[in-house]
Structure 1
Amino acid sequence: MVTVPRGDVTVRDVLAASALAGAAAAAAVLWPGVRALDAPGVLLLVAAHVPLAVFRRWPAPGLLALVALVLPYHLAQYQHHALVPAEVIALFAYAVLGRRVRIVLGVVASLLGVCVVGMAMRAGGGSLREQIAVIEAVVSVVIAVQVWRVHRARLATITERAERAERTREEEARRRVAEERLRIARDLHDLLAHSITLIGVQAGAAAHLARGDRPLDREELADALASIASTCRDARTELRGTLQVLRGTDVGTPGTLPGPRAVAGLVDAARSSGIDIDLRDGDVGTLPPETGVAAYRIVQEALTNVVKHADAKRATVSLARDGGGLVVRVADDGGGPSGGPPEGFGILGMIERARSVGGTLDAGPGESGGFVVTAFLPLVDAVAPRQA
């Protein structure tokens, strides 16, 4: 329902009601009706305009008071048209300021209509035409008020829908920004955490060789430094590909997006830290790019945790098709940090990776010890491997 905030009684309202009462009295004197205006008629006529002065503050009591005063005025057959302006203003003002407008206006219109019809049945000729004119005035006001209210309600609905749509667009934009920030953070974490961990392990091995008691083996030290350089090159290549994807450029370039075929490089890099890693990748066929990237990143983060946290001697990495999906499994024989999962955002990032392609991921202690990460990634539009 459309309503306008109410206000207090003002001097302007009192002056307007007084001026309207004076004009109505002058009209009743100049153009008398069936009954000439006398003292009771003047009292009713003036009193009927008093509620208009307080209508802004009390619309419902004001309308009831006006109806209670105009009914005896009309029944006494005074000049009817003199009160039509006050009645029109009261009905319209209540439509703007009141509550339950349709019910109240219907009751008021019915009372005025019954009053006028009763007077028309008691009079004839010109008086009958005068009563019909009053009925038409009251009915036209009620119809106009309802049309106005429907228009205001429609405008309010349109405005509310527009505001709601704007809020929805803003919320959707904020949600997309948050998702994009999360994706960027996940990509950078998966890339940099793995590379930095391997570089740290390899640099530590090189430092141990340099500080060792036995004579320095230049070839062994060169191999350790070469591993660091190779890891840096791989990290730079992956970082360039990740930035290209984030910028939306060269997305279709072969080799830009890592996939299952690049898992062997991750395993070789992790082996340089001294862990014996068994790779069982088989032939998983051609995978959708999103699934391939998710599998690669999950293996990358899992191996990072093995190198950094597990204190493991052996690990197994396997990729295989099973039941219309790709199963990625990374298991080690280490104890994990304090016997629990790795700290930080690694496990959460792997879970988000799996969910981003509609998959699931479980991470926890294995049945025979160590730590096991198992992900199931559904395959859609994937090309199955050829059977020999």
Structure 2
Amino acid sequence: MHLTTTPVRPRLGERIMAVINRDPRTAPHGTRNDALLAAAAVALAVCLALSTDDARRPDALGWTLLIAAHVPLVWRRRRPLLVFAAVVALVLPYHALDNNHSAPVPASFIALYTVTVTQRPLRTLVVSGAGLGLSLAAMLTFGGDRQAVELLRIYGWVFAVIFVGIDVRYYRQYIAAIVERAERAERTREEEARRRVAEERLRIARDLHDLLAHSITLIGVQTSVAAHVLAADPERLDRETVAKALDDIAETCRTARGELRTTLEVLREQGSVGETRGPLPGLDGLPDLVEAARLAGARVEQSVQVRQLPPAVGAAAYRIVQEALTNAVRHAGPEPAVRVELYEEGGVLRLSVADEGIGPRPGGSPGFGLVGMRERARSVGGTLDAGPRGQGGFEVTAALPLTLLEGAR
């Protein structure tokens, strides 16, 4: 069963307002509509010309000029000024021949209205004034005072057309400005939503990298220890060492599984993107990181001399130390000596993780660890440096302000 919905047809008033609000130069089917308008104006002009007495009815030349004056209206949207000039040029001799003066008025008003709604008001006034002046000059020259007074009476409506056209023009500009502001606001909202989504994706990527890279590195080191014990001397198997290594692997897996479950639960929660967060890790988790690194074979010394930190700063420091210890266990060689130091100085948390190992292998594929640490530091308005030490090994240092900058996350 297929359900079809019938589109709601706009009401007559809504369609009329849409036509008024729309710029005539961008309206669809403009040429076709103008051709129909010109045909209707010709029919009206013929009726007006035939309704007068025989003395004022156009002759053959008058009919030719009258009908020809309506032809340019087909292109009034494309060339409004040129069309108006053509209509005036054809209407002037028509009036000079003392034909029915009412017949060409609709065509003249249509051309004039098009100029007023598409051109600047000053240009409209200059053009309409020039047209009226030429008409009066022609009537005074060829038709006498009576025809000039009659023409002036007819063209008294010119000012009404001018003011209506200018008013419509300003109204359309007002509507266009409102629409533009609404579109700009919508684009701003969309860009803000995309930015927040990108920031959230980056945060999730950092969290997953910090979690999985740390856990997988520890599991790899502990597995290597167990494999080494099994292969070193099968005749004198150290079952206690193997069992401890396997227990450490199991514990690391349980911890990683728990943190991963917490992260996934946060992602599934409903709410605005980027606002729903799980509990942030802090410096109270540093002992666990140090103990895990020691189980992986590193000789870690720590010195933590800090008071209570803002949650975001504590989380950033935790993740930086976690990644630095992971890199030390992975790249610094067997049983590396690592020193972790955190202290406050001048409203800034100073962080240092230095090892005395061999450092990363030259030519190795770059990972996301250093990039992630720098992003962690920038997220709270801090800075991070990492590189080889002069006396050997590798060092990561960071400066994290204890007072978050505006906009820091």
Normalising by structure 1, report the TM-score: 0.82
Does residue 199 (structure 1) correspond to residue 222 (structure 2)? The answer is no
- C-alpha displacement at 1:151, in angstroms? 2.1
Number of aligned residues: 368
Give distance in 2, aligned partners of 1:366 and 1:308: 17
- C-alpha displacement at 1:270, in angstroms? 0.5
Which of 221, 228, 238 in structure 1 is aligned with 2:259?
238
Does residue 67 (structure 1) correspond to residue 88 (structure 2)? The answer is yes
5+ unaligned residues in a row in structure 1: which ranges?
Answer: 250-254, 382-388
Which of 271, 285, 294 in structure 1 is aligned with 2:307?
285
Post-superposition CA distance 1:326-369 (Å, at most 9, x none): 11111111222224787311111111111111111111111212
5+ unaligned residues in a row in structure 2: which ranges?
Answer: 1-21, 271-277, 405-409
Does residue 187 (structure 1) correspond to residue 207 (structure 2)? The answer is yes
Q: How do 1:344-359 and structure 2 match up within 5 A?
A: 344-359=367-382
Q: How do 1:1-388 and structure 2 match up within 5 A?
A: 2=23, 3-4=25-26, 7=31, 12=36, 15-16=39-40, 18-29=42-53, 32=56, 41-53=62-74, 55=76, 58-75=79-96, 78-94=99-115, 100=119, 102=121, 104-115=123-134, 123=145, 128=149, 130-213=150-233, 215-243=236-264, 245-246=266-267, 256-282=279-305, 284-311=306-333, 313-339=336-362, 343-380=366-403
Post-superposition CA distance 1:71-112 (Å, at most 9, x none): 34445554432221111122234456xx64545532331023
- C-alpha displacement at 1:183, in angstroms? 0.8
Larger deviation, residues 191-200 vs 164-173: 164-173
Query: Secondary structure at 1:82's aligned position in 2?
Result: coil
Percent of aligned pairs with the same amino acid? 51
Q: 1:318/1:10 Cα in 2 relative to 1: closer, same or farther (>3 Å)?
A: closer
Give distance in 2, aligned partners of 1:308 and 1:76: 103
Q: 1:227/1:318 Cα in 2 relative to 1: closer, same or farther (>3 Å)?
A: same
Q: Residue 305 of structure 1 contacts residue 342 of structure 1 at CA under 8 Å; is this kept in 2? A: no
- C-alpha displacement at 1:55, in angstroms? 3.9
- C-alpha displacement at 1:17, in angstroms? 5.1
Query: Secondary structure at 1:344's aligned position in 2?
Result: coil
Larger deviation, residues 133-142 vs 151-160: 151-160
Q: 1:62/1:117 Cα in 2 relative to 1: closer, same or farther (>3 Å)?
A: closer
- C-alpha displacement at 1:307, in angstroms? 0.7
Q: 1:4/1:70 Cα in 2 relative to 1: closer, same or farther (>3 Å)?
A: same
Give distance in 1, aligned partners of 2:64 and 2:153: 24
Give distance in 2, aligned partners of 1:63 and 1:223: 97
1:299 counterpart letter in structure 2: V
Give the match for residue 274 of structure 2. Answer: none
Q: Residue 38 of structure 2 contacts residue 70 of structure 2 at CA under 8 Å; is this kept in 1? A: no
Give distance in 2, aligned partners of 1:57 and 1:326: 68
1:25 counterpart letter in structure 2: A
Post-superposition CA distance 1:189-225 (Å, at most 9, x none): 1011101111111122122212221612232223222
Larger deviation, residues 41-50 vs 197-206: 41-50
Q: 1:342/1:53 Cα in 2 relative to 1: closer, same or farther (>3 Å)?
A: closer
Query: Secondary structure at 2:104's aligned position in 1?
Result: helix
